[in-house]
Structure 1
Amino acid sequence: MPDEQTHRPPGLRQALATLSGPLRFLLFSSFLIPLGSFMVLPFMSVFLHERLGMGLGTVGVVLAVASLVQFSGGVVGGAMAERVGLRRTMVWALVIRTVGFIGLLLALRWPPLAVGALVLTCCGAALYLPANKAYLVNGVDEERRPAFLSAGNAALNAGMAVGPLIAGPFVLSSPGWLFLSVTGLFVMVTAGHARLPTEAAGETGPTVHGTGGLLTGIAGLPFAANALAFYLYFHFQHYLAVYAVERTSSQFYSLVLLLCFVLVIVVQPPASGLIRRMPYPLALAVGFAGLAAGLATLAIGTTWALLAGGALVTLGDIVLFLKNDLEALRRSPRSDAVVFGQQRLAAGLGACASGVLGGQLYGLGQGLGDTGWFWLLAAGQCLLLPPLLLLRRPGVRRRPPSDLSKGAMTTDDTNRRVPGR
């Protein structure tokens, strides 16, 4: 028994207790950055339409392009981090986002500037996230990686939940002060990132695996599973608002979203070890089953069904999104940042497909006077499409046990890692 206890995987608290000062700052930034972003971005459709006078058709095109850039641009961010380093990539990304928010402030006097400013903020987000995740887990053993990633996801969701609550009253009444405050927040966060240790693994340039094309070394099954998961999840993300508001109210819709954010914050970190140990096919089955159950529940259309459906969908994506990232890291020979960027590309493709195909189906349901079947059709896809992923199991290049971190693995570089990483 003593030997079993000695080799027992570390718990969440024990894993997070090993965080160094720079990584604690990075986790805090993972809260501050979405806090600032979501003080602005969720309200952009209202701002562009009502404050700047853009037509709804134009607003829709602008937001679609911005979303595609923010997700799919991650593959560029990962490649950039592999070549110039993690810290430098994060700093440049934050500079770009800061310039974008300055542009939104200036757009109050020259409205056409708002489109370019919004795209800039999304470009910054695309470049930042792969480097952020890679810096957080670089040099961390495989058992602790899920705890660190889930802690980052919890911080991200906390910022996304709090930001709209703070900014809601000021978006239309005092947008100038709001944009100025967010710009100031990003200036401070950027300055903090500039002070992160340059000796961290990944700052020394390309890994021993070398660099390659944006899709070189892609982990096929986790990439496809991530694209499918985001395709199905974004049926919920894109169309729940119109479905819920017409049955309840915008306030109740906000409550459903808040419940989803809280579930990620509360459930994913303590469940991260269990998710890591799950066999990958089992994790896919559990995750897609949760999505299917949640989407089918939404079809009932009552207030309790909306809450229960949102909770089940969130529990499904908690398993899928974390496990797909962990499995991609395990299977791909590329650097962590590139892997995270490739997974973001998959997310962008899935979200885009959901917007195009799901929008047509939801519009058809509206025309027929019954949108409940839309959710049943989405739930059916959760059960029918995932088995197709496992029909062909291509060989993958798994990383050797001695190469868990995929950082710069020369003797000199490993000796220079920041303590606690």
Structure 2
Amino acid sequence: MADHAPGGNGLRATLSTLDGPLRFLLLSSFVIPLGSFMVLPFMSVFLHERLGMGLGTVGVVLAVASLVQFSGGIVGGALADRFGLRRTMLWALVIRTAGFVGLLAALRWPPLAVGALVLTCCGAALYLPANKAYLVNGVDEGRRPAFLSAGNAALNAGMAVGPLIAGPFVLTTPGWLFVAVTALFVLVTAGHARLPAAKAEAEPGPGSGGRGLLAGVAVLPFAANALAFYLYFHFQHFLAVYAVERASSSFYSVVLLLCFALVIVVQPLASGLIRRMPYATALGVGFAGLASGMAVLAVGTRPALLAGGALITLGDIVLFLKNDLEALRRSPRSDAVVFGQQRLAAGLGACASGVLGGQVYDLTSRAGSTGWFWLLAAAQCLLLPPLLSALRTREDDGRRHPTLTTTKEH
């Protein structure tokens, strides 16, 4: 079955094995980002225009929130390893729901908005590693790419639809919007309370959380994920200002919709091919996609914005899925801990991109040629990945002379 995963029939056959709880989890993987992205993409505008915060303060708040949401995943993975996947998801949703209640209360007392935003990001950090681990719990290696890519597709679909629904209401009637999102999260939380415990977590014990958060980390996939997110977030952080200057905010939305659509359609269909692809080949293909996309963006025309976004998205489809699969294969830790470690790598990369990329974009902007920003990013996509070969040699040597058990924890 897994050998035919790249095709539509093989993918449907694989996903048809999903039972009721996993189908609910996939639905939740759409509904949760749908609700979140009805609010979070507009937070900079909401904090600045509705609550009167200065843009400098808004930038700091969003940077902290992003770092918490990504890097906090390593804590989420450790908690899931210690207390169980279902229980951790439930706690995470309770925390996130409380965050949206706080945003509603912030309409009356604005200082609450910062704490409420950070609370929603804490909930996201705790939820995602447990969600991914539950989705692949007890699934053989051949079917894991299809299950993970289906979850990623559902997540991206929710991220795409949420802003479209909420855009007309977030500044005019934010109270009703926050009430609707809170109610949505209450329903999803209640559904998670009815999920059965995952097969491998029926008796979580105190010893399962006794190792360090980075113990057993798969060094090469961790480093490759950090680098991939560092390079990709040049696109994520700075495309908006670049595209709006050359086209319009509406056209920027079209570019984002194209990128979301590619992830939703292409990644599930290509999941089996990505699984079978040698890791070195996948890294080469993925980083080449990022490099070519960044270079095309430098042209600055509308067709270039669409083509560049598409190439970058195809590159990240390969990189993000393959890095997760390779980390699961190489690490002796439980799935939840592995996903948490990979989220930490993503957070470090995204944060570095914001700090370093912001400085470079500012320099090129003042020089009057922001196209050079994308050319410099493209050069990094070609020059930095070869550094991973040293880590690859080191990790291969480590596997030939292991110091840790190779039995997967649960």
1:140 matched to 2:139? The reply is: yes
1:78 counterpart letter in structure 2: G
Give the conservation status (yes or no) of the 8 Å contact 1:85–1:205. yes
1:76/1:110 Cα in 2 relative to 1: closer, same or farther (>3 Å)? Answer: same
Query: Offset of 1:204 from its aligned partner?
Result: 2.2
Q: Give the whole-Å Cα distance in 1 for the aligned partners of 2:362 and 2:18.
A: 48
1:278/1:207 Cα in 2 relative to 1: closer, same or farther (>3 Å)? Answer: farther
Query: Offset of 1:121 from its aligned partner?
Result: 0.0
Identity of aligned residues (%): 81
Match in the other structure for 2:67? 68
Give the conservation status (yes or no) of the 8 Å contact 1:332–1:397. no
Match in the other structure for 1:417? none
Gaps of 5+ in 2: none
- Note the alpha carbon deviations across 1:276-331, whole angstroms, 9 max, x for none: 00000000000000000000000000000000000000000000000000000000
Gaps of 5+ in 1: 1-5, 409-421
Query: Offset of 1:207 from its aligned partner?
Result: 10
Match in the other structure for 1:30? 29
- Note the alpha carbon deviations across 1:165-220, whole angstroms, 9 max, x for none: 00000000000000000000000000000100025322421599774111000000
Q: What SS class does the counterpart of residue 394 from structure 1 fall into?
A: helix
Match in the other structure for 1:309? 308
Give the conservation status (yes or no) of the 8 Å contact 2:296–2:304. yes
Match in the other structure for 2:106? 107
Match in the other structure for 2:217? 218
Query: Offset of 1:12 from its aligned partner?
Result: 1.0
1:404/1:165 Cα in 2 relative to 1: closer, same or farther (>3 Å)? Answer: farther
Match in the other structure for 2:342? 343
Q: Give the whole-Å Cα distance in 2 for the aligned partners of 1:256 and 1:377.
A: 22
1:394 matched to 2:394? The reply is: yes
Match in the other structure for 2:127? 128
1:274 matched to 2:273? The reply is: yes
- Note the alpha carbon deviations across 1:343-385, whole angstroms, 9 max, x for none: 0000000000000000000000111000000000000000000
Q: Give the whole-Å Cα distance in 1 for the aligned partners of 2:399 and 2:25.
A: 31
Query: Offset of 1:14 from its aligned partner?
Result: 1.4
- Note the alpha carbon deviations across 1:251-274, whole angstroms, 9 max, x for none: 000000000000000100010000
**How many equivalent pairs are there?**
400
Give the conservation status (yes or no) of the 8 Å contact 1:39–1:166. yes
Match in the other structure for 2:118? 119
Give the conservation status (yes or no) of the 8 Å contact 2:3–2:272. no
Q: What SS class does the counterpart of residue 215 from structure 2 fall into?
A: coil
Q: What SS class does the counterpart of residue 200 from structure 2 fall into?
A: coil
CA RMSD of aligned residues (A): 1.8
Match in the other structure for 1:416? none
Q: Give the whole-Å Cα distance in 1 for the aligned partners of 2:160 and 2:148.
A: 18
Q: Give the whole-Å Cα distance in 2 for the aligned partners of 1:197 and 1:78.
A: 19
Q: What SS class does the counterpart of residue 196 from structure 1 fall into?
A: coil
Q: Give the whole-Å Cα distance in 1 for the aligned partners of 2:90 and 2:406.
A: 26
Q: How does 1:17-416 map to 2 (within 5 A)?
A: 17-198=16-197, 200-206=199-205, 211-392=210-391, 393-395=393-395, 396-397=398-399, 406=408, 408=410
Query: Offset of 1:406 from its aligned partner?
Result: 4.0
Query: Offset of 1:133 from its aligned partner?
Result: 0.1
Query: Offset of 1:391 from its aligned partner?
Result: 2.2
Q: What SS class does the counterpart of residue 141 from structure 1 fall into?
A: coil
1:397/1:91 Cα in 2 relative to 1: closer, same or farther (>3 Å)? Answer: farther
2:394 counterpart letter in structure 1: P
Give the conservation status (yes or no) of the 8 Å contact 2:81–2:208. no
Q: Give the whole-Å Cα distance in 2 for the aligned partners of 1:302 and 1:311.
A: 14
1:88 counterpart letter in structure 2: R
Q: Give the whole-Å Cα distance in 1 for the aligned partners of 2:283 and 2:205.
A: 32
- Note the alpha carbon deviations across 1:222-260, whole angstroms, 9 max, x for none: 000000000000000000000000000000000000000
Give the conservation status (yes or no) of the 8 Å contact 1:86–1:203. no
Query: Offset of 1:13 from its aligned partner?
Result: 1.2
Give the conservation status (yes or no) of the 8 Å contact 1:22–1:196. yes
1:333/1:339 Cα in 2 relative to 1: closer, same or farther (>3 Å)? Answer: same
Query: Offset of 1:8 from its aligned partner?
Result: 4.4
Q: What SS class does the counterpart of residue 347 from structure 1 fall into?
A: helix
Give the conservation status (yes or no) of the 8 Å contact 2:96–2:121. yes
Give the conservation status (yes or no) of the 8 Å contact 2:2–2:143. no
Q: Give the whole-Å Cα distance in 2 for the aligned partners of 1:227 and 1:122.
A: 19
Query: Offset of 1:7 from its aligned partner?
Result: 8.8
1:7/1:378 Cα in 2 relative to 1: closer, same or farther (>3 Å)? Answer: closer
Give the conservation status (yes or no) of the 8 Å contact 1:22–1:197. yes
Q: What SS class does the counterpart of residue 391 from structure 1 fall into?
A: helix
